[in-house]
Amino acid sequence: MQKNSRKKKIPWQKGLFSLVFIFIGGICGLCIAHHVDKLTASGQGAGSALLTFGLLLLGFLAVLFLQIIVHEGGHLVFGLLSGYTFSSFRVGSFMVIKPDGKLRFKRLSLAGTGGQCLMAPPDLVDGKMPFVLYNLGGSLLNLISAALCVILYFPARAVPYLPLFLLMGAIVGAVYALMNGIPLRLGAVDNDGYNAWSMGKDPAALRAFWLQLKLNALLTQGVRLKDMPEEWFQIPEGENLNNSMTAALGVFACNRMMDAHRFQSARAAMEKLLAAHSALIGIYRNLLLNDLLYCELLFENRPDRIKRMLTNGQKKFMKAMKTYPAILRTAYAYTLLAQQDEKQAAQIKQKFEAIGRAYPYPSDWESERELMDLAEAKARTQQEV
Averaged confidence pLDDT in the chain: 87
DSSP designation for 122:
P
What is the average per-residue pLDDT within 296-311? 96
**Distance from C-alpha of 208 to C-alpha of 46, rounded to nearest angstrom:** 58
Per-residue pLDDT at 1 exceeds 50: no
What are the DSSP calls for 3-36, one per residue? Answer: HHHHHHHHHHHHHHHHHHHHHHHHHHHHHHHHHH
What's the pLDDT tens digit per position in 238-295?
Answer: 889 988 899 999 999 999 999 999 999 999 999 999 999 888 888 999 999 999 999 9
Section 292-320 average pLDDT: 96
Provide mean pLDDT across the span 373-384: 91
Closest Cα partner for 59 from 143, 148, 172? 172
Q: Which is nearest to 249 in space by CA: 368, 257, 63? A: 257
Query: Is the pLDDT reported for residue 375 higher than 50?
Result: yes
